[in-house]
Structure 1
Amino acid sequence: MTEDAPREAAASPTPVSATVLRLEGLGDLRIGRPVPKSGAWAERGAQTGGACRTVSSPDHPGVYAIVSEGKVRRITVGQRSDVKLAEGLGVGSSEKDVKKWFGGFREEPHKYEDGPAKYLTAPNAASGDPALRFEIGRDGKVSLMHVGTMPVLGYVEGCA
């Protein structure tokens, strides 16, 4: 290793975590923690105020978070987002690809779409630890991707 190596690594333009959804969260937005005071995450339209609210950021189009009891409980990635999991999966990925990476997920029928639409939820979701949940559309592709803790991870209508 040369003396220049640490400086080169530190100079990378955008941290990977800025567009990679992890069980811990997305960038500085972390599951189980308050919304960061510095940053662009804020209430915009949708569900605001009260015990449960949603926040979004112009830096992450198509992504919103559910905040309950003052802490981020779920992050949802939708259609207009380029955010993906470290495995490369994101909105538009096939159910087949999801099952390659996450074969033991529990399947449930989708509440608003006919089959083969469904929810695929991590087997550890009931533990209270952060977990993944995918919504698969009738076309067999990921329509929404969530990371969070139950019961909020399982909500189908924002804060409900």
Structure 2
Amino acid sequence: MKQLASVMALGVVLALGGCDRTVETPSKDAEAAVPVPSDPAPPVAPDAATAPAAEAASAGPARLDGYGPLALGSTLEQVRTAWKAPLQGEVPDDYCHALRPQGAQAEDVVFMIEGKRLVRYDVRNDRIVAPGGGKVGMSLGQLQTLYPDRGDVTPHKYDEKGHNLRVRAATDGGALINFEIGGDGNVTAWRVGQTPQVDYVEGCS
């Protein structure tokens, strides 16, 4: 009888203890099994910290202060060291001359060296985007939308129907952009450089 009473008492204790149990936190497996509501969740805004990184990843090599690993004002030795790959072009004393990446096409980037320093670079293809968004093939109207406050329209030296859009420097002493616009109204080339070299119409010649 004592053994039977002990068993009954134990059953009562367990029953009462079950009424006082705290709610358990669902496991990850249980949460995964819960059906997803049919209404889609609102889109999550991108993390503001990742936005600059995304912009940097999409940015091209052309900048107002240089191109790729090169900085305007760098010495000829610094240019050759930073570019790493071979650059073609004669270096006659301090005279102005052009350097072109080995194997580059004629319309690809060309670096202007004067006084043994990088003072300008020129582009003649639509694959490379200028600082601010301009590129070969755009119209004057498109450029003026991109550069609304700093663009001056000037005559083309050789094409009476053409123009130049000279984009003034954003800061004192900064580089300028000059877009050459053909008689059809579209950009044929552009260049970034310091003054006065950015205004050389025939390049070094």
SS for the counterpart of 1:36 is helix
More helix by share: 2
Within the candidate set 77, 87, 92, 2:123 is matched to 77
Larger of the two Rg values belongs to structure: 2
SS for the counterpart of 1:99 is helix
User: Do the aligned residues in 2 keep the contact of 1:43 with 1:53 (CA within 8 Å)?
Assistant: no
The higher relative CO (CA closer than 8 Å, separation ≥ 6) is in 1
Match of 2:92 in 1: 49
Match of 2:178 in 1: 133
Runs of 5+ unmatched residues, structure 2 = 1-52
Residue 86 of structure 1 deviates from its aligned partner by 4.9
SS for the counterpart of 1:157 is coil
Matches within 5 A, 1:65-104: 65-79=111-125, 82-103=127-148, 104=150
Runs of 5+ unmatched residues, structure 1 = 1-9
Question: % of aligned pairs identical?
Answer: 27
Q: CA-to-partner distance for each residue in 1:73-126, whole Å, 9 max, x for gaps?
A: 1110113x51113543211112111100112312211111122x111112339x
Structure 1 residues 143 and 66: alpha-carbon distance in aligned structure 2, compared to 1, 3 A threshold:
same
User: Do the aligned residues in 1 keep the contact of 2:80 with 2:87 (CA within 8 Å)?
Assistant: no
Q: Does 1:26 align with 2:71?
A: no
User: Do the aligned residues in 1 keep the contact of 2:140 with 2:187 (CA within 8 Å)?
Assistant: yes
Tell me the amino acid that sits aligned with residue 122 of structure 1: V
Measured in 1, the distance between the counterparts of 2:104 and 2:134 equals 17
Tell me the amino acid that sits aligned with residue 142 of structure 1: V
Measured in 2, the distance between the counterparts of 1:87 and 1:152 equals 20
Residue 132 of structure 1 deviates from its aligned partner by 1.0
Match of 1:120 in 2: 165
With normalisation by structure 1, the TM-score equals 0.76
SS for the counterpart of 2:112 is strand
Tell me the amino acid that sits aligned with residue 133 of structure 1: N
User: Do the aligned residues in 1 keep the contact of 2:132 with 2:147 (CA within 8 Å)?
Assistant: no
Match of 1:108 in 2: 154
With normalisation by structure 2, the TM-score equals 0.61
Residue 40 of structure 1 deviates from its aligned partner by 2.5
Match of 2:193 in 1: 148
More strand by share: 1
Residue 130 of structure 1 deviates from its aligned partner by 1.0
Structure 1 residues 123 and 53: alpha-carbon distance in aligned structure 2, compared to 1, 3 A threshold:
same
Structure 1 residues 120 and 41: alpha-carbon distance in aligned structure 2, compared to 1, 3 A threshold:
farther
Tell me the amino acid that sits aligned with residue 100 of structure 2: S
